[in-house]
Structure 1
Amino acid sequence: MADIQSLISALDVFGRATDKASLDSANSWLQDFQHSPEAWATCNVLLQNPDAPPAAKLFAAQTFRSKVTYDLHQVAPENLSALRDTLLTALERYHAGPRTITVQLCLALAGLALQLPDWDNPVQQIIDTFGMNPAMVPTLLQFLTNLPEEVNGNTRIPITDDEYRDRAEILLTQNSQKLLELLSMYYQAPGITTNVRNQIFLCLRSWLVAGEVSTYDFAKTPLFAGIFEALSSDELFDQAVDVICEFIHETQEIEDNMPVIELIVPRLIALKAEIARNQEDPDKIRGFARIFTEAGETYRVLLLEHTETFFPIVEAIGECSAYPDLDIVPITFPFWMRLSQNIGKKPSVSPLFQDAFKSLMQVILTHLQFPADLSTLSPQELEAFRSFRHVMGDTLKDCCAVLRTENCLLATRQLITTALARGPDHVTWQEVEAPLFAMRSMGAEVDLKDGVAVPQIMDLIPSLPDHPRVRYAALLIISRYSEWVNMHPTYLPGLLAYISSGFESPDAEVSAAAGQALKYVCQDCKKHLVEFLPTLHSFLTTTGKKLIQEDRRQVYEAIGNVISAMKMEAAAESLRTFAFDILAQLHTVSTQPTAPTKAELQESYNGLENLETMLHVIRSFGSELPPACQQTCEQTWQIFDAFIVKFGADPEVADRATRVVRRGLDFFGDSALSVAPAMIGRMSFSFEATGLAAYLWIPGKVISRFGNDDEPNLRGSFKEFYERSTQKVVSMLQTGSPREYSDVLEDYIQMLVQLEAMAPDIFYPSSVFPLAFTANLAGLQVVQSDTIFSSLDLILSIVSHNSLDPAHGHQAPKFLIYAAAIKNTIEKEGYHLLGGLLQGLTGNTFPEDSTANIHSIFRYLAQGWSGQLVSWLGPVLEQLPPGAAPNEAKLQFLNDVTA
């Protein structure tokens, strides 16, 4: 009774408590209770007690299901038959519901049947127990529905593969014929209710999904006609659709199932007329779309080999594709995609299929049109429609595979010219924009040498109406066709003029599309655009100042692409020209006597982003810098140093400035070595002053690149940064939790990883090594997987270091120093290390792939610190939350490790 009262109290917490601590405590107690041996009897008492709260009864049923899966070993073999009878009795008691309890008891019985070879014929016994009483038939059907789902889906049941195969054969395969006979009998029984028929369909579908029902046997039963007849019933429709789809799917071995397919197809063709009759009922159309699409996909080979016989299925799918409800239309798209792939492999295409794909293209072009009044859509609906247009665009590509891209493009262009011929007062922007979107979608299929369709599209673009949506769509066509333009550079001047005018549009989306178009044209046509670079510089210094930052950033990306195509000396001069505009702005705000305005600072932030973008595209000129770049590394760093000193406490400045420095390291390569010590020193003081993670990031990159260099000033800067940053990180962790400083820990630990790998002579002998180890352990408590992996990698590198191996430990005097530092630190921090590993492992806070590292770390601890490991382990296990692992599992683990 004490257990029952405690259980009810714990469950009650979820109905009234709102604080996390109470909920966590109750949840931990319930998890421990579920694993306890006493739970079997307690749950049985609760299920037998009519006065027990509903939540307690449901929890008891759930616990039986859970314990049958995980804890059946707690029941003595001689008591297993009694457990079976207990569950059968409980199922009889709850045959009228609640359904949630019935389902859990059915799952428990199914799991028990799988693990109990002495239970000779579980299915027959349950049929005998529940099948003769009409009131209990729904319970029998529920069990039969859950049985294949549990047998095939519950992979946690602890049995061998051979045991599983034997029991699955006995439980399912040997009973499939009996199941069909039983379901047929119930389906035809006088007075059968709609609810029971739905249950029959659910059960039938479950066995079909499991692959346990022979299509031949099924086709011989009254159920075969029944599932098609049920489509006329609103109450049975959905379940009948599910069964028909699964049944069709099961006939996918065409040659083996031809007699059954010959029975199915006439019923499908007769069903086709229902699509037109049910146009006002989207739920019915959805069901028909699923049935015909499943048939189309399953019988694709037959469609192609016996087109005239099976073509009504294609026509039915086409009708569903044309339905105005865009939630239903995509059901058909996988069929069209796979059919186009099959047709594309054939030397010729049947006119019937050509007509079908022509109709489909017209349908998609209609679906692509925005509504006449956009205000009829909510913002969420509008965004969903825009996303769905891209899905429809993929189906247009399928049309290209069958009809040829050139023909599709010309037909789509004709829609625009026909609409424009009616005059500006008689054409809507939607009629022009939808075909433009279609052309953009089909652009991926364009032959880069095409000299028929694409030239006509490019000639059409300048004459399009000056509507923002139309201009937006046209600019994105230019983006998509930029590779074609590279092969036909004569179109560049006109297209660049069209793009340039797009930047002047007051519509933000049009301006953004112009930026994207310029980026791709410069990326793909860069060899043809070198002569336009002065024009682009002039554009930036005039019109460019009016652009929003995202558009301006895209222009700089475009410029970077053009520079990357130039000869090195000319490229260096061009980069210098564009970069020095930005550097001059940084120098001005850093040195002017008065505080910069907010606009001036924002311009500096934007300049940093633009410079980063250019450097990211250009990357490097190689190890030998051209003359124009020889002195720029030191000059640039002086400007950046002054800028960081003055404004570096701002997180946005820190982030953007260090991102550019990172690109500068890549660009200058070994030439950056001259400024590396000063750079490390600035990062050290800036991190100490601000605690911003960005200042940890750059030293890690410098150590990664120059860690093997013996230059004394550089090594000194590494050591100073290591010690100062460690002291700062430790002080931060004393005032807040690791999760509050997760960004700092991520970059700090990554820096330690680089230092340990590249400069162990600095990493291990330092007096801050124990502090760094402690700070690294804090990385195990964050939620970011990358940080946890980095922390584990560093721990593994430390505990497996060669200096600890007697075979290597005396080869170098420095190894004695390393080994002493490691041993002393692990002896002091091993308890916390072990606690962090086991808490993350049992608390599911570590990523799945981290297990191998944890195994390795544990093995090295067992080798090097075996006595301490055993002394740490007991208290660590005691500290684990009750829900993390059952007490008996903890004890077993401790005993195994100790032994």
Structure 2
Amino acid sequence: MLRKSMYPAIDNSSWSLDDKEVFRYGFYIISVKNITFWCSRCYRLDIADTFMYCYVILNIEMLDLLNTKLNEALKKDCTNGISSHAIQWTEVETVLHAFGAIAEGLEYENVYLPKLMQTIKDIPFNELNSKVMTTALHTVGAYSEWFLDHPENLGHVFPLILSTLANAEVSTSSTMSLKNICHDCQKHLVPYADHILMSAQVALLSGNLEFAECRRIMYSIGKVLSVLPVDRTMEYLNIILAPSFEELHKLANAEPTPSITSSVVTRLSVLVSLFISLHVETEEKVEQPLLVVMQNTMPLYRIIAEKYCRNPDVMEDLSAIFKYGVTTLKDDCKPLLNDMLQIIVTIYREVPQANILVVAKTILILFGREDELTSMNQQLLHEIVNVTLQMCAQYSTTNQLSEKADVLEGFFSLLANLVKKVPHLINRGGIDTSALFQCAILALVLPEIQTLKAVASFLVHFISQSRESSQADVVQTFGESLVLRILMNLGTTAPRSSVDIFGDVILALNKKYCDNLSRWLNSLLAQEGFPSSRISNQQKENFIKSVLREKANKRKLCDIVLEFTLICRGILKQNMDTLTCDYS
């Protein structure tokens, strides 16, 4: 197995561009009995899976075998640990690959893994192919959870990780390994903090890193800073972030071009990674470093919002900064809320977009029960509702509502969560719930499944709480229109995969408004040829009886609705006299 997963020890300088491209994307050569095969990366992954299965059976024996093979590959004399012959890098790499493959099952091993980490520390990587270093870094990262219980071994691997962060050949592996360890072993990072932060800063300034690698390093920086005293955290933040914010300030004030816009996206996205991970846990009440950072940079975000509010990529990252700033700081972010909400409302008025709704939902759910923030929360919700209803009215008149399906999905997801968790914001906040209910009915014409799910979720929660929240008049007034729209969807237009979604709404109506639902169904289905000429009056009557009988079993109701849909569309034979009513 080790032999079969081995890379070819050949010089590829004479390869064609096509061969190099194939090799770079994970294909490699295997020779068996002088026959050469090109094998895809899937082959090596299959071998890795098989190693895992082998470990389940062999356990410690396999570790002993791999440890022996690694020493043999390094040509070590077991008595003095010194390499006695030239090392074949492919032999070293394939054993490291095997160790990495079985990492998931080795959380508590404390005999052979410490030896592995010591051996990795002593491998002469500068004398070997870079693939050995890449695999070693992947293997180290795979054992990040193991290091949590064996932190004394971190000293063996950090020199390798940190020395390779700025190495373009292996930076992907090293930044991934660093991120994994910083995530899983955060409480053990203090002794290595200065070395990590200095190495990370050098790597960021080197210009050798790709976008994703910068994000991983910034995430790691946030994790490390979070375990330091606040004063030291602020010192490092000033040093590390100053170049980024200076550059972002220049970009924000420049005239937008494709290259400048791309740079703005990159800078914001890297900051998002920091905002996700930077939070100082302390028993004392201290000013969070992230709060200071956001307060100092809020004017910059305002400029970016005004200039790039129509650019979805920029807005996605700016929204993520606000969202993670709020979720990371929680109550500590209250001083930022007023400025943040002004920016959010400005953007949404100009261009309604789903990313902004995610931020609004986060804020309203987190602070929806705070009495001192009630006025601000209601003002935010009013703005979002009014702008969205205007958008729906505009796009529905031209039958272009589907172009805004993502916004409607975010809007009704927001409303569903508010009705479920902080209903007073809608019920007692002066919101026109009749308009919301009618908008939801209108949105049911859309074919996008995720949007339909969000709309149905709002309707189900609204209907279920309507009697307790004094909204029964809304359901009774517009309920027939809702049932009409559902029947039309089931009979003709809606995707068959959405049947369960409409079943949820019917079930909610049947639980809370059974008499009304009976009257609406009988009135609407009495129309000849509605919702389809393929279904008979007898089948309609049986459908109504079956639906009204089910007030608890969602699965049965969905089966009844599906059968009704299939008959209406001619998929089930039209000469069926009855619907299947007895599911016992």
TM over 0.5: yes
2:317 equivalent to 1:656: yes
2:412 equivalent to 1:775: no
After superposition, what is the alpha-carbon deviation per residue over 1:715-750, rounded to whole angstroms, capped at 9, x for unaligned?
223212221222123423444555543321221111
Matched with 1:515 is: 175
Matched with 2:43 is: 385
Give the superposition deviation at 1:827.
Answer: 4.8
**Shift in CA distance, 689/367, structure 1 to aligned 2, threshold 3 Å:** same
2:460 equivalent to 1:832: no
Matched with 2:68 is: 411
Matched with 1:18 is: none
Give the superposition deviation at 1:556.
Answer: 1.2
d(CA) in 2 for partners of 1:670, 1:820: 37
Matched with 1:626 is: 287
Give the superposition deviation at 1:578.
Answer: 4.2
After superposition, what is the alpha-carbon deviation per residue over 1:115-161, rounded to whole angstroms, capped at 9, x for unaligned?
xxxxxxxxxxxxxxxxxxxxxxxxxxxxxxxxxxxxxxxxxxxxxxx
What amino acid sits opposite 2:409 in the alignment? E
2:364 equivalent to 1:703: yes
2:212 equivalent to 1:550: yes
d(CA) in 1 for partners of 2:499, 2:309: 35
d(CA) in 1 for partners of 2:307, 2:334: 24
Unaligned runs of 5+ in 1: 1-363, 810-814
Give the superposition deviation at 1:663.
Answer: 0.3
d(CA) in 2 for partners of 1:579, 1:881: 68
**Shift in CA distance, 503/621, structure 1 to aligned 2, threshold 3 Å:** closer
**Shift in CA distance, 759/579, structure 1 to aligned 2, threshold 3 Å:** farther
Secondary structure of 1:546's match? coil
RMSD across aligned positions (CA): 3.9
**Shift in CA distance, 887/499, structure 1 to aligned 2, threshold 3 Å:** farther
Give the superposition deviation at 1:400.
Answer: 4.1
Matched with 2:7 is: 370
Do 2:165 and 2:200's aligned partners in 1 also have CA atoms closer than 8 Å?
A: no
What are the equivalent positions in structure 2 for 1:77-476 lying under 5 Å apart? Answer: 364-371=1-8, 375=19, 381-398=39-56, 400-401=58-59, 403=61, 405=63, 407-418=64-75, 422-423=85-86, 427=88, 429-444=89-104, 445=106, 447=108, 449-450=110-111, 453-463=115-125, 465-476=127-138
2:506 equivalent to 1:846: no
d(CA) in 2 for partners of 1:598, 1:734: 34
What amino acid sits opposite 1:475 in the alignment? L
After superposition, what is the alpha-carbon deviation per residue over 1:380-432, rounded to whole angstroms, capped at 9, x for unaligned?
84132233232133134235416152x123222134124985526xx4x4333
Secondary structure of 1:449's match? coil
Matched with 1:870 is: 522
Matched with 1:58 is: none
Matched with 2:543 is: 893
d(CA) in 2 for partners of 1:830, 1:455: 66
Matched with 2:225 is: 563
| Correspondence for 1:716 among 368, 379, 383 | 379
**Shift in CA distance, 450/738, structure 1 to aligned 2, threshold 3 Å:** farther
**Shift in CA distance, 749/876, structure 1 to aligned 2, threshold 3 Å:** farther
After superposition, what is the alpha-carbon deviation per residue over 1:765-808, rounded to whole angstroms, capped at 9, x for unaligned?
857534422332355455665544432232123333354xxxx6
**Shift in CA distance, 680/626, structure 1 to aligned 2, threshold 3 Å:** closer
d(CA) in 2 for partners of 1:535, 1:465: 26
Give the superposition deviation at 1:648.
Answer: 2.0
What are the equivalent positions in structure 2 for 1:478-489 lying under 5 Å apart? Answer: 478-482=140-144
Aligned residues: 513
Larger relative contact order, structure 1 or 2 (CA cutoff 8 Å, min sep 6): 2
What amino acid sits opposite 2:74 in the alignment? T
**Shift in CA distance, 577/770, structure 1 to aligned 2, threshold 3 Å:** farther
Matched with 1:745 is: 408
Of residues 523-532 and 830-839 in structure 1, the stretch that sits farther from structure 2 once superposed is 830-839
What are the equivalent positions in structure 2 for 1:572-611 lying under 5 Å apart? Answer: 574-575=236-237, 578-579=240-241, 581-590=243-252, 592=253, 594-595=254-255, 598-611=258-271
Q: TM-score when scaled to structure 2?
A: 0.75
After superposition, what is the alpha-carbon deviation per residue over 1:353-403, rounded to whole angstroms, capped at 9, x for unaligned?
xxxxxxxxxxx2122123567959786841322332321331342354161
d(CA) in 2 for partners of 1:821, 1:418: 81
d(CA) in 1 for partners of 2:216, 2:460: 43
Give the superposition deviation at 1:647.
Answer: 1.4
What amino acid sits opposite 1:748 in the alignment? F
d(CA) in 2 for partners of 1:767, 1:683: 19
Do 2:275 and 2:324's aligned partners in 1 also have CA atoms closer than 8 Å?
A: yes
Matched with 1:221 is: none
- Greater helix share, 1 or 2? 1
Of residues 559-568 and 532-541 in structure 1, the stretch that sits farther from structure 2 once superposed is 532-541
| Correspondence for 1:684 among 341, 345, 362 | 345
d(CA) in 2 for partners of 1:712, 1:785: 35
| Correspondence for 1:801 among 462, 465, 486 | 465
What amino acid sits opposite 1:773 in the alignment? F
Give the superposition deviation at 1:503.
Answer: 3.8
What amino acid sits opposite 1:417 in the alignment? L
Larger Rg: 1 or 2?
A: 1
What amino acid sits opposite 2:65 in the alignment? C
After superposition, what is the alpha-carbon deviation per residue over 1:178-221, rounded to whole angstroms, capped at 9, x for unaligned?
xxxxxxxxxxxxxxxxxxxxxxxxxxxxxxxxxxxxxxxxxxxx
After superposition, what is the alpha-carbon deviation per residue over 1:427-457, rounded to whole angstroms, capped at 9, x for unaligned?
4x43332112112224442755337632552
d(CA) in 2 for partners of 1:829, 1:443: 54
**Shift in CA distance, 536/463, structure 1 to aligned 2, threshold 3 Å:** closer
